[in-house]
């Protein structure tokens, strides 16, 4: 009996020492109580060195959890990160409505210009509807150039274009091998897609694909290099449905801005894409479209974004 008591005491002491050792390894919690939620969170205990994400999202107001999710009182990294939305990117379109939405944030009314998520979800950058329609029409899978399919199913009952719904595009359901190849090779630049490998393609998904040019920073001053991550890294061979990367190594800005086969105007030596292409063009206007016509005020020519 005495031996059993000694063993029990020994294991109890070990348990106490383990709890003490484990607690001693935990950082001293740094509490933050953002005004938006009023709920204390400990994220800045480990992430105090992160820069302010933007002047419009002060940490004192938003904190971390309202956008990123996560376990707000956890001091263990794995536990704290276990319920984060979108991994490290809460603006991924699969979670943007939860992370960035709300009537006072980015899914409010159109009259208050807070319907940003609606605009992005229905934009051609998200749906890729024009490109899908063109390819399927070319290979006889549909009889017109109207958009019927998108990257994901989208419903917009208040659209002004007459297109109220897009069904999801599933390349494997098309019998034509070229359409299947298009699905495999040519769908890496819409906002839902992870980018190709390589520094030249570096970007996030969702809203951050355009608005985040460095870690934990949001901006509306989007440089041309951010646009180029999708728009100037190569060309698609429409005969084989394969992507051909750029092989040149530009040393001057204007050569980096455009590929060698392209034309440019003098002003583009200094301007960025967003200086001419408005947010309604890039983010969409909140309606589903077959394609979007872009009027370039600099050279007075019309182009079509598919």
- Lowest-pLDDT range, 215-229, 265-279, 284-298? 284-298
Answer yes or no: is pLDDT of 254 > 90: no
Answer yes or no: is pLDDT of 30 > 50: yes
Answer yes or no: is pLDDT of 99 > 90: yes
Please state, in angstroms and rounded to a whole number, the distance separating the CA atoms of residues 155 and 138.
Answer: 25
- Looking at residue 22, its pLDDT comes to 57
Checking phi first, is residue 171 left (phi over 0); if not, alpha (psi -120 to 50) or beta?
A: alpha
Nearest partner of 123 among 190, 61, 185, judged by Cα: 190
Answer yes or no: is pLDDT of 297 > 50: no
CA-based diameter of the chain, in Å? 96
Tens digit of each residue's pLDDT (9 = 90 or more) over 178-208: 999 999 988 888 999 999 999 889 999 999 9
Higher pLDDT, 277 or 122: 122
- Looking at residue 269, its pLDDT comes to 77
Please state, in angstroms and rounded to a whole number, the distance separating the CA atoms of residues 92 and 85.
Answer: 9
Residues 6+ apart with CB under 8 A from 20: none
Q: Tokens 């969170």 identify what position?
A: 41
**DSSP-assigned beta bridge partners for residue 305:** 292
- Looking at residue 11, its pLDDT comes to 57
Hey, is 265 helix, strand or coil?
coil
Question: Span 203-218, mean pLDDT?
Answer: 93
Question: Span 97-122, mean pLDDT?
Answer: 92
Hey, is 301 helix, strand or coil?
strand
Please state, in angstroms and rounded to a whole number, the distance separating the CA atoms of residues 209 and 206.
Answer: 6
pTM of this structure? 0.82
- Lowest-pLDDT range, 47-61, 67-81, 169-183, 290-304? 290-304
**DSSP-assigned beta bridge partners for residue 204:** none
- Looking at residue 260, its pLDDT comes to 74
- For residue 154, the surrounding DSSP H or E stretch is strand 154-155
72, 39 Cβ separation under 8 angstroms = yes
141, 305 Cβ separation under 8 angstroms = no
- Looking at residue 178, its pLDDT comes to 93
- Looking at residue 195, its pLDDT comes to 92
Instruction: Using alpha carbons, list the distances in angstroms from residue 24 to 28, 78, 260.
Output: 9, 17, 60
pLDDT, the chain, mean: 86
């Amino acid at each position: 009996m005495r031996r059993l008591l000694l063993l029990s005491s020994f294991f109890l002491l070990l348990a106490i020492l383990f709890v003490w050792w484990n607690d001693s390894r935990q950082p001293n919690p740094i509490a933050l109580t953002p005004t938006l939620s009023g709920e204390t969170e400990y994220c800045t205990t480990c992430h105090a060195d992160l820069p302010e994400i933007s002047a419009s999202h002060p940490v004192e107001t938003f904190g971390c959890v309202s956008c990123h999710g996560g376990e707000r009182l956890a001091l263990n990294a794995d536990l704290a990160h276990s319920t984060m939305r979108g991994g490290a990117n809460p603006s991924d379109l699969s979670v943007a409505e939860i992370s960035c939405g709300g009537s006072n944030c980015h899914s409010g009314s159109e009259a208050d210009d807070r319907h940003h998520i609606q605009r992005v979800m229905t934009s051609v950058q998200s749906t890729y509807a024009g490109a899908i329609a063109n390819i399927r029409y070319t290979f006889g899978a549909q009889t017109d150039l109207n958009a019927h399919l998108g990257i994901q199913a989208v419903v917009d009952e208040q659209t002004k274009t007459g297109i109220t719904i897009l069904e999801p595009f599933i390349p494997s359901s098309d019998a034509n091998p070229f359409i299947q190849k298009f699905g495999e090779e040519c769908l890496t630049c819409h906002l839902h897609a992870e980018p190709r490998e390589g520094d030249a393609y570096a970007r996030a998904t969702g809203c951050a694909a355009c608005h985040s040019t460095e870690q934990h920073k949001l901006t509306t001053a989007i440089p041309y290099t951010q646009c180029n991550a999708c728009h100037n890294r190569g060309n698609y061979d429409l005969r084989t449905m394969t992507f051909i990367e750029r092989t040149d190594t530009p040393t001057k800005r204007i050569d980096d801005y455009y590929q060698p086969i392209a034309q440019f105007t003098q002003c583009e030596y200094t301007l960025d894409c967003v200086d001419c292409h408005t947010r309604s063009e890039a983010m969409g206007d909140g309606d589903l479209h077959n394609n979007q016509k872009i009027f370039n005020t600099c050279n007075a020519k019309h182009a079509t974004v598919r």
